[in-house]
Structure 1
Amino acid sequence: MPRTVRKARPNKKRGKRQTKEEETPENGGESGFFMDPQGQAPSEDQPMENASSSHMYQEQHFQAASFGEIDEQMLGYFKNVEKMLDDPQFETAEDQRLFVDSVYCEVEGNELRLTTNYSCSLILEKLLKISNAFQLRVFMDKLSGRSVELFAHRFASHVCQTLITLAADVVEREVIEGKPAEGPEPQDESQGVLLSMEELVLGMCEDIKPVVGGLISQQFASHVIRYLLFLLAGKRVDEMGDRKGRLRSKKSAKYKTENNDTLTKASAHASSTRSVPASFKNMFRTLSTELAINSSETEVRTLSVHQVANPVLQLLLEMQEDDEEGQKAKTVLLDRILWGIVTDVDSTAESKDRDSWFETLIRDSVGSHLLEVIAKVAPTPVYNKIYTTYLRNKLEKFSLHPIANFVIQHLLTNARSPQQFDMMVQELSGSFEKLIKGGKYGVIRSLIEASVTLKTSEKEILRSLTDALHMPENQDRKEFVNCVMRMWNLEDWTNSPEEDKRNLRNFHLQGSLILQAIVKMPAEHNNLVISSFLSQNPDTTFRWCFSPVGSRAYQSILSSPEVNIKIKRKVLRNLEGRYVDLAKDKFGSHIVEQCWSVADIDMKERIANELLKRERELSEHYIGKCILWTCKIGQFKRKREDWVEREKGIERKKEMFKDILEDEPVKASKKRKNF
């Protein structure tokens, strides 16, 4: 539909909100690039000068770059362009290409001005997203040599971020096809030859290399650097799964959502890596060296607790390859973050500076995130040194800390051996009740998940959990699932009014995750959950299916390979007569799909008959019609024999692959024993 009213946007500025005093011309306005002694930003025709060495991070002050104002005629033209982009009327792809070409013709010579203008930068992002590879290369070429100013600019940084994201697809295509996408021949030979996207990206990296240490701690440039690192390392960007805000700031993500601007989402079928040229890997190592090896220890530690620079260090640690150069950069970076811990990994001598620094880092709201990554990627000797020197015999203290407990969770889930994990369990086994009272349920969940992975200490962990819930071994544990799902002890459950017991909002997310993890344990251990679940009235557990938290726990019992098929069939029978109600619920419909995947042919016929009786009702429901399609009720109704043959064929395939899948855990368990 055509837009009749243009939404006002002046109050939705991206980036850090500034006071009137900060925005005055005397102090330079928003953070951007260097000012000259007279207080004037470099003009478009004035070459940028190296302001500082990359090692003098604290002395770099990026001030606003100004390339001139946009005249009213250009602003009016771009508003019309935005209307066309928001409500496209192109009949063919060629029409769209010609429109984009005409816009770029109008833009020519004003790229830098438009990129640094608030309104026009937003429109440029939309334009870039429908541009072809050649148009993107031309636009990036116009920005060459100005990367530092643009990365550090409040508005231009978002344009660069979008441009780098789109460049990733172009580079991958160049690598696969062996040549860049060609465009029209230049009319003026003096314009030269247009570089490939690979060369343009490398040129951008060369621009920022001398000051990359300062840029990663700059408010607007840091997110662009992270995108660039993803591109160089050949990683696929997924903004939709960016829960820690390492790719886009919270304000930027909120703005994108509110304005229906599509965030980048990696396809479920796409590989997590991209094809990139060898030169990109070399440049990634160069930037890693610049940040890790050529920086002093003091500088790296300063960046470790810097809110903007810290996520860049996390990415550098996670994305290093397993080759010699990658491991060297990782170990040097670890050594400098943790005050020479790699150098002294075999030493038993105390280091008071390192000890006090680690205590500061693990309690710091920013630095602790870096320790979480270190627990995951550190070489085994370094991991062992961290555990034995700083965390052993202190696990309870740090587990109860509001910030440090997240580091402990990562320490537990990344334990290097079953024997080491057993020591951790032994230390924390008496702390479960304190953890529950203190609301540190994630530590308990991490213990259970690590136990499932390493196949050890299951009995000890479950005994500690039941004791904390006041359900000793000699007592009836019928209410175990009810207590865990709410993270209440037995007295809390017994003394609660019936209304609170029936209120599904009392379900606790971490309790549900703990239950889901226990179900993955071997049958001798998950029997605690299964027996408690089956002892409940089916009407009670049926209500779980309509809760976002409860339905996940219910579903985990049906999906776990460790739960006996006879138990799953009993659960399916308990739901007979209720499948239609489940099929019309956004949470219950997932239960129906899971039931269908584990049901045998006889049970599938019962479910199908139940759905067929109310086919019309389901077909008119936006979720119910999806269940009809999943269960192929149309075929069941008209060609039942074909439907039966189809479902039997699916069952045969499952049985065939079942033997293959069951052999894998046996091999894995042998490896663990040898280890």
Structure 2
Amino acid sequence: MVSVGLHALVSRNHKGCDLTEQPTAWENQTNNQWVRKRTMGRKTSKKHAGVNADHTVESVSGGNADDNNRSHKDKKTTHVPQTSFLRKQIDPETAKYFAEIANAIEGTEIDPEERSVICGNALEETRGKEAELATDYIISHTLQTLLEGCSLDHLCSFLQSCAKNFSHIAADRSGSHVVETALKSLSFHLQDNENHSLIEHALKKICKAIVVNPVDLMCNCHGSHVLRSLLYLFKGVPLEEFHSTKSSVGLAERLNLKAPHAKDNVSLQSVQIFPSLLKKFVSEMLNAASEDISKLQMNQYSSLVLQTVLKLLAGNEQELLHLIRVLLGSSAGNANAGNLLEGITIRNILRLVEETAYSHLMEAILEFAPETLYNELLTKVFRKSLFRMSSHHCANFVVQALASHAKSQDHMDLIWEELGTKFRDLFEMGKSGVVVSVLAATQRLHSHEHECCQAIAAAVCTGDEFPKCIVPRILFLENFFSLRDKSNWSWPHGTKIHVVGSLILQSIFRLPSELIQVYVTSITSLEEHHVLEASKDPSGSRVIESFLNSNISGKQKRKLVAKLRGHFGELSVHPFGSFTVEKCFTASNLNLRETIVSEMLPLQPELSKSKQGPYLLRKLDIDGFARQPDQWKSRQASQQSALKEFYATFGPKETKSFEKESFLADTVSKSKPGKLKDIRKEIETTLASAKTSNTPFLAHQVSKKVKRSKDEKKRHRKDGESESKRKKIKV
């Protein structure tokens, strides 16, 4: 007999009954002994989209700054049993037909038009049997190929035929892949506006089927992913963007390590393909699930769906307010501004944020909530509870989100009041992510920056060792606070540098130099072998680079660079150290630059084979130094002089004063980074093209400008003459 798909059935019914009316349940997946060796590119592990193998939910709001795992410590996630159905058996003739279709179209080159016809005809044969075919492990792969190659008419027809059993298909391991392939194919047709009405009609039919019982689908690991794809399709967001979303991107933005992605903002807010359909679907889905909100709050898969809805409704304040108040459990009808949380049990929210799924959901709520609602959540719900929440393995992520999305200095004052004196306690509890989030918030809002730097320094170092020990202990944050006798701690050779400690120092070195002098003293006091070890570490090298990119004086930077003398060669061929070498060269004076290039010169063959090596060879002009050292020095001095002159003329006021023998690195971070980057690229391009010329940089630019202006005058004169001739001819 033909395989019945993923699960073996308890009993088989050969009668032509309605699939949705069968009460027989599937066998438990853990007791399923039928496993196919042929995976056909589909994952067979327990790791599902949006959920790690250990069932850790990855937040749509983006990442976390702590190493703590919420899921394995929290076993209270609500399990919602799925409504199952009995699939009719596939007859041998149908199975044979689709096997022949698979052999005909898979792995063979066919004319696109002919392929579309074959795929369309094959999909016609699925009419009335979509559920059993889509949930069959083997035939589902063939259906995916057909849906990728068929026309829009056949695609929409297939989805409309699936509408009756859409929820059952989407909740199946194989069927969910079929549905997602269909939705992905639909997204490609959205580029043509003429297709929108046809697509919208098909989507409306699917929505009507889903809202009958959305809870089971939202709480299913496969159905949750299908629903999120469907929601992104309503918004007009390409499904590739949804599937490629990385939590690390959101984390970088929250910690000020990366500017908000402009492309994401445009795709989520400006593009409105089916805005009314999205709002109506969300509204009806919430209405149908109104009695099960407590289940949706606690389930990890439904939490992911709700986070996606919050993200897609960003910018629609009224819809967001309504949705968030429902998710918070509000019983009030229409709350007034300033009293939006009326009727909500605050104690219940404080209890829920200690659950894995709800803590993720609350992160998204805080990210997308309008300022009025954020203000009430902070002042009425979480105030006076921040430190207690920070000590919890789930709730501490909510505190991080509160800090990351604080809207004003008043908000920062409230957060600082409760957490500013607790940094050492947070470090000892392993909640360093809370500290780095608060630090990033103080930097973003320009509030309590100096106090925050002082508090971090005091938390890791006191007494006679201050301030020398600050940077080493932050670099090895977890190692230091794991010891009982911290007074005898020393640099742990061979130990990987702590990621969050690295993030803290990177944030600190972006602050004005007058606020971080103790950190400057500490990092420039490091032993030479410690600087070398940090430069070879993926996290440590970032700290060295951030220091060399900062607005700290060139003298202090060169003090650190000099500690690497004799090791620039080995660092240049190291995968992480090569980036440090580049920053060292930029921050150095002429003598140190010559030292760096001299040490790299014998390693030219190795550099040409490494990943970063060819770039370093060009950037540092090592070949030019090998051939003509004197001319290389002259070019470096000319470049320094040109850059000084340029910034003295066109740069901001604070960049017009240069120290003796200092390079551009002394002042770059004081100016707008985007503009300076473009200006620097333009200068280096011009200098590279004029390496053999001894003409000063600015004079070279002026001469080009004069020459260009003369050419333009000649062209305008010729254009004027030709225009007058045309007028004469017309007359």
When the two structures are superposed, what TM-score results if normalisation uses the length of structure 2? 0.67
Does residue 316 of structure 1 match 2:309?
Answer: yes
SS at 1:402 equivalent: coil
Residues 503-522 of structure 1: CA distance to partner in whole angstroms, max 9, x if unpaired? 233x2222111122222222
Residues 210-231 of structure 1: CA distance to partner in whole angstroms, max 9, x if unpaired? 4445532334222111011122
Q: 411-420 or 103-112, which moves further after superposition? A: 103-112
Residues 50-77 of structure 1: CA distance to partner in whole angstroms, max 9, x if unpaired? xxxxxxxx99835355473565645654
- Where do 1:518-529 residues align within 5 Å? 518-529=508-519
Q: Residue 301 of structure 1 contacts residue 336 of structure 1 at CA under 8 Å; is this kept in 2?
A: no
For the structure 1 residues 662 and 238, does the alpha-carbon distance in structure 2 shift closer, same or farther, using more than 3 Å as the test? farther
Tell me the equivalent position of 1:226: 228
Tell me the equivalent position of 1:586: 575
Q: Residue 520 of structure 1 contacts residue 526 of structure 1 at CA under 8 Å; is this kept in 2?
A: no
SS at 1:35 equivalent: helix
For the structure 1 residues 241 and 612, does the alpha-carbon distance in structure 2 shift closer, same or farther, using more than 3 Å as the test? farther
Q: Residue 412 of structure 1 contacts residue 447 of structure 1 at CA under 8 Å; is this kept in 2?
A: yes
Tell me the equivalent position of 2:21: 36
For the structure 1 residues 313 and 392, does the alpha-carbon distance in structure 2 shift closer, same or farther, using more than 3 Å as the test? same
Give the superposition deviation at 1:465.
2.4
Does residue 428 of structure 1 match 2:419?
Answer: yes
For the structure 1 residues 664 and 553, does the alpha-carbon distance in structure 2 shift closer, same or farther, using more than 3 Å as the test? closer
Tell me the equivalent position of 1:303: 296
- What one-letter code is carried by the residue in structure 2 that aligns with 1:291? M
Does residue 517 of structure 1 match 2:519?
Answer: no
- What one-letter code is carried by the residue in structure 2 that aligns with 1:154? R
Does residue 284 of structure 1 match 2:271?
Answer: no
Largest Rg, 1 or 2: 2
CA distance in 1, matches of 2:188, 2:637: 43
Q: 599-608 or 452-461, which moves further after superposition? A: 599-608
For the structure 1 residues 69 and 310, does the alpha-carbon distance in structure 2 shift closer, same or farther, using more than 3 Å as the test? farther
Q: Residue 568 of structure 2 contacts residue 600 of structure 2 at CA under 8 Å; is this kept in 1?
A: yes
Tell me the equivalent position of 1:557: 547
Tell me the equivalent position of 1:410: 401
CA distance in 2, matches of 1:636, 1:214: 69
Does residue 155 of structure 1 match 2:174?
Answer: yes
CA distance in 2, matches of 1:429, 1:613: 52
Q: Residue 493 of structure 1 contacts residue 501 of structure 1 at CA under 8 Å; is this kept in 2?
A: no
Tell me the equivalent position of 2:245: 241
SS at 2:356 equivalent: coil
Q: Residue 575 of structure 2 contacts residue 611 of structure 2 at CA under 8 Å; is this kept in 1?
A: no
Residues 516-536 of structure 1: CA distance to partner in whole angstroms, max 9, x if unpaired? 222222212222222101111
Pick from 545, 549, 558 the counterpart of residue 535 of structure 2.
Answer: 545
For the structure 1 residues 469 and 603, does the alpha-carbon distance in structure 2 shift closer, same or farther, using more than 3 Å as the test? closer
For the structure 1 residues 634 and 295, does the alpha-carbon distance in structure 2 shift closer, same or farther, using more than 3 Å as the test? farther
Tell me the equivalent position of 2:90: 68
Pick from 366, 390, 405 the counterpart of residue 375 of structure 1.
Answer: 366
- Where do 1:135-214 residues align within 5 Å? 135=151, 138-147=154-163, 148=166, 149-171=168-190, 173-175=191-193, 179=194, 197=199, 200-201=202-203, 203-212=205-214, 214=216
Does residue 329 of structure 1 match 2:319?
Answer: yes
Question: Unpaired runs of 5+ in structure 1?
Answer: 1-9, 42-57, 181-193, 247-267, 666-675
Does residue 618 of structure 1 match 2:607?
Answer: yes
CA distance in 2, matches of 1:277, 1:379: 21
CA distance in 1, matches of 2:619, 2:206: 49
- What one-letter code is carried by the residue in structure 2 that aligns with 1:305? M
CA distance in 2, matches of 1:618, 1:548: 19
Pick from 420, 431, 451 the counterpart of residue 440 of structure 1.
Answer: 431
- Where do 1:380-391 residues align within 5 Å? 380-391=371-382
CA distance in 2, matches of 1:313, 1:109: 37
Give the superposition deviation at 1:318.
2.1
Q: 395-404 or 507-516, which moves further after superposition? A: 507-516
- What one-letter code is carried by the residue in structure 1 that aligns with 2:428? K
CA distance in 2, matches of 1:408, 1:169: 40
For the structure 1 residues 566 and 169, does the alpha-carbon distance in structure 2 shift closer, same or farther, using more than 3 Å as the test? farther
Q: Residue 136 of structure 1 contacts residue 163 of structure 1 at CA under 8 Å; is this kept in 2?
A: no
Q: Residue 24 of structure 2 contacts residue 86 of structure 2 at CA under 8 Å; is this kept in 1?
A: no
- What one-letter code is carried by the residue in structure 2 that aligns with 1:517? S
Give the superposition deviation at 1:610.
4.3
Q: Residue 485 of structure 1 contacts residue 512 of structure 1 at CA under 8 Å; is this kept in 2?
A: yes
For the structure 1 residues 629 and 79, does the alpha-carbon distance in structure 2 shift closer, same or farther, using more than 3 Å as the test? farther
Q: Percent identity?
A: 23
Give the superposition deviation at 1:374.
1.6
- What one-letter code is carried by the residue in structure 2 that aligns with 1:282? S
Residues 557-589 of structure 1: CA distance to partner in whole angstroms, max 9, x if unpaired? 2334x4344433444444344333223222223
Does residue 531 of structure 1 match 2:511?
Answer: no
Q: Residue 516 of structure 1 contacts residue 556 of structure 1 at CA under 8 Å; is this kept in 2?
A: yes
For the structure 1 residues 556 and 284, does the alpha-carbon distance in structure 2 shift closer, same or farther, using more than 3 Å as the test? same
- What one-letter code is carried by the residue in structure 1 that aligns with 2:20? M
Q: Residue 236 of structure 2 contacts residue 272 of structure 2 at CA under 8 Å; is this kept in 1?
A: no
Q: Residue 64 of structure 1 contacts residue 153 of structure 1 at CA under 8 Å; is this kept in 2?
A: no
Tell me the equivalent position of 2:492: 501
Q: Residue 504 of structure 1 contacts residue 544 of structure 1 at CA under 8 Å; is this kept in 2?
A: no
SS at 2:83 equivalent: coil
- What one-letter code is carried by the residue in structure 1 that aligns with 2:351? T
Give the superposition deviation at 1:598.
5.5
SS at 1:543 equivalent: helix
- Where do 1:440-519 residues align within 5 Å? 440-471=431-462, 476-487=466-477, 488=480, 492=485, 494-496=487-489, 501-505=492-496, 507-519=497-509
Number of residues paired by the alignment?
Answer: 570
- What one-letter code is carried by the residue in structure 2 that aligns with 1:280? F
For the structure 1 residues 238 and 291, does the alpha-carbon distance in structure 2 shift closer, same or farther, using more than 3 Å as the test? closer
- What one-letter code is carried by the residue in structure 2 that aligns with 1:343? A
